[in-house]
Amino acid sequence: MNISIEDGDTDPSNPIASKKASPPSLSEMTEARAALFSSNPSALKSKKFKYRVFYYLCLELDLRRGGHIKDLLRELNNWRIAQGIITSNVLNVNRDLLIQLEEAETNFASGGKSAYRARVRVLYAMCLLRKIQLPQGRVLADHLVAQLKIWKQNPANKHWDFKGPFQELSSLARRKQPTPNPDYLSSAVHLPPTSHVLLGRTLLTEYALDHSNMELPPWVRPAPIKAGSVTHGKLSADQWRTFCCVHLVVTLGRVWGGDSKSQQFKLLTNFMDLVFAIETAGTLSISDDDIALYEFHMNRYLEGFKNLYKEANMVPNHHLALHVPDFLRFLGPGPNQRTFGMERFNYVLQKLKTNRKPGEMEHTFTVTVARRANLLPLIEDPVIREKIAELYDEIHDVLNEDHRGTRIHDVLSLEVVQTPPDSGTCPSVELSDSVYLSLVDQLNSSVTTGHRYVPHQVRTKSPGDITLWQMAERVNFVVSEGVRYQSYMRSPGASNILVQRSPSEWDAQPAQIVQLFRHTRKSFDGKALVETFLEVRYLRPLPASEKSRDPYRHFNGVAGSLWMNQYHSTTSVIRPEQIICHVAKTAMTINGIDQPRLHILPLNRFRRQLEMLERVGARAHVYRSISID
């Protein structure tokens, strides 16, 4: 990733997409091809070719080129086996072998016994024609003869004819090497050395555009807009998570998702498998079905990674990712196993100024950290805080603690009970008629008895009717499971939510919070009930004619989806329990759609959505069910 370099060539047919090895000479390549197409499996290894020969031999055959010589040699040997080239040390398909084999087969078919006295390589070839499974390594003649006798005693082989398999084996002796095309060698020699990265200037420019048009809730720590620039430096772990699972999902889906037959779309699909696996492993609640989903997507990601990025090395983290399900089964959800505390402490130690002298740094770390640990609770004392008001602000500015990100969010989300709304001053407001009537409908939708709420304007009441008053108290925010939700006027990012419209079925739709209010009403048993509600405005869905042009809907919810850049004119009243999660909202223009649209990406979507799905009994088909159409 580097904004100062052009995007990498993602076309695997271009042999000059990488400059990992200088081109070998034509004579070296000719000798390597001869060794590859020989029947001796150790020919390539015994010649002791250099790395660049193996690299360009794999490049010529469009095989994986990542790793060391042993990795490239394994790829070439696997290709030999797939092509039907004999790879036995005891078998060298040539004219002499074919003559002896034909004589032995003729004698064997006529019931003669001289075939059993043939040489080992002839007996081996006879077993090979019959597809008899033989042990690895050296095989003795007695074992081969015994296998042939067992095969002959089987009545199913009575009418077997050796001529067809014999002709196929004979073709190996006449196999010609493909005509070498030295164009890539000669052109590579004259090409100036260039550098390519997959995320280069073009994609990072598009990322910056989406970044500036994206609204995120306050608890999400966005990736820097200059990611990939030398001036910014390294990203933190949480910034990498947001960059990959939020920002790149939006940008790559828009740039690469248009043509489902393109190479870029294959790269995008592979990337979405990784995102799905990461998000699944990072949920705060996990089940066996979730772990199975992780295994499926991680395995598919790694298989696709090997095929798409042929020059990329497989690293230990790829192997370790396959062991994550073991930890999830034994230790529970991923956040329980994270070392955010120790990582944060390492960050604090790195910022401390030391003289870098061994033996003295430890003392400096210990003393400085102890002083800081004692100072922070001391200045929080109300009496002391009042005395040092200006100094208190200066200290917090110096510490610059960031209260955003996954670390804080996951800790606060462990609180299951909903936090009470803002306890500050709550001015009284009169609800508008439309909001008031929507509140009446919301309350009556959950009534199961013969009672109901009626507007105060209704003069004629039935038995069991309770008047609902139009006055309420304005609330600044509501906190649910550690996440704060606010109105659009107070915080645009905190107002974008995904709502479950119906409590009995999965009907999720993005919305914007217009206002929050606390309403007091009389219950059916005569007690006073105080409850917080939200007035929301739903987004309009895409017309049916445009849904087929939405590149994000290929991925069944993991990449979000497009919506109209327009809200419904009417509003609705919902309870806080109907909020599924925040969403990232991005304004963008899509090829094939004339007007700008909004991209909606649910945040923290898996944990809350899976819990909702469990309640409505649709848990078995999670991957297909989380789309927010």
Question: pLDDT tens for residues 418-431?
Answer: 445 444 456 889 99
Q: Is the pLDDT of residue 147 over 70?
A: yes
pLDDT at 595 over 90: no
pLDDT in tens, 179-205: 444 454 444 444 444 556 788 888 999
Best-predicted range by mean pLDDT (165-174, 355-364, 429-438): 429-438
> Among 506, 484, 487, 504, which Cα is nearest to 495's?
487
The more confident residue out of 465 and 496 is: 496
What pLDDT, on the 0 to 100 scale, is given for residue 533? 94
Does the structure show a pLDDT above 90 at 498? yes
d(CA 558, CA 624): 10
Instruction: Return phi, psi of residue 531, to 5°.
Output: -140, 145
412 contact partners, CB below 8 Å, separation of at least 6: 481, 482, 483
pLDDT band at 620 (very low <50, low <70, confident <90, very high): very low
Which band of pLDDT confidence, cut at 50, 70 and 90, is reported for residue 16? very low
Model pLDDT for residues 441-492, shown as the tens digit of each residue: 998 887 777 788 888 887 777 777 888 889 999 999 998 877 889 999 999 9
pLDDT of residue 141: 87
* Percentage of the chain exceeding pLDDT 90: 27
Tokens representing 411 are 């800790």
- Do residues 297 and 279 lie in contact, with contact meaning Cβ atoms separated by under 8 Å? no
Phi and psi, residue 61, nearest 5°: -95, 5
pLDDT band, very low/low/confident/very high, at 359 (cuts 50, 70, 90): confident
Among 142-156, 199-213, 603-617, the minimum mean pLDDT is found in: 603-617
pLDDT score of 208 more than 90: yes
Is the pLDDT at 251 greater than 50, yes or no? Answer: yes
**Segment (H or E) for 209:** helix 201-212
Judged against a pLDDT cut of 70, whether residue 37 lies above it is answered with yes
Q: Please determine, for residue 532, whether its predicted confidence score (pLDDT) is greater than 90.
A: yes
- Spatial distance between the Cα atoms of 452 and 393, rounded to a whole number of angstroms: 53
What is residue 274's predicted lDDT score, i.e. its pLDDT? 95
Kindly tell me the sign of the dihedral angle through the C-alpha atoms of 542, 548, 551, 555. positive
288-297, 366-375, 574-583, 612-621, range with the lowest pLDDT = 612-621
Lowest mean pLDDT, pick from 23-32, 118-127, 229-238, 551-560: 229-238
- Give the mean pLDDT of 354-360: 75
74, pLDDT greater than 60: yes
Quote the percentage of the chain above a pLDDT of 70. Answer: 79
pLDDT tens per residue across span 429-444: 999 999 999 999 998 8
Mean pLDDT within 13-20: 48
Cβ atoms 66, 310 nearer than 8 A: yes
Q: Which amino acid is at 434?
A: S
Residue 132: what residue type? Answer: I
Closest residue by Cα to residue 194 from 8, 2, 3: 8
Phi/psi of residue 518, nearest 5 degrees: -110, 125
Q: List b or e across 30-59, with b for residues whose CB sees 16 or more CB atoms inside 10 angstroms.
A: ebbbebbbbbebeebeeeebeebbbbbbbb
Query: Which residues on adjacent β-strands are paired with residue 509?
Result: 499
Confidence of residue 614 (pLDDT cuts 50, 70, 90): very low
Res. 523: pLDDT tops 70: yes
Comparison of pLDDT for 370 and 343, the residue scoring more: 370
- How sure is the predictor about 12, in pLDDT bands with cuts at 50, 70 and 90? very low
CB 271 within 8 A of CB 305: no
Given a cut of 50, whether residue 317 has pLDDT beyond it is yes
For the segment 566-583, the average pLDDT, to the nearest whole number, is 92
Model confidence at 232: pLDDT above 70 = yes
Contacts of 569 (CB under 8 A, 6+ apart): none
Residues 562/250, Cβ–Cβ less than 8 Å:
no
What pLDDT does residue 629 have?
37
Q: What is the pLDDT of residue 612?
A: 45
Does residue 605 contact residue 517 with C-beta atoms inside 8 Å? no
The half-sphere exposure of 450 on its side-chain side, counting CA atoms within 13 A, is 3
pLDDT score, position 539: 95
Highest mean pLDDT among 381-385, 540-544, 619-623: 540-544
With CA atoms as reference, report the closest residue to 195 among 6, 3, 1: 6
Cα–Cα distance, 314 to 263 (Å, whole number): 21
Q: Mean pLDDT of all residues in the chain? A: 80
Query: 128: helix, coil or strand?
Result: helix
Residue 398 pLDDT > 90, yes or no?
no
Using the predicted structure, report yes or no on whether residue 371 has a pLDDT greater than 70.
yes
416: pLDDT strictly greater than 50: no
Q: Is pLDDT at 293 greater than 80 in this prediction?
A: yes
Q: How confident is the model at residue 92 (pLDDT cuts 50, 70, 90)?
A: low
Is the predicted pLDDT of residue 522 greater than 70, yes or no? yes
Higher pLDDT, residue 535 or 421:
535
* pLDDT class of 21 with cuts at 50, 70, 90: low
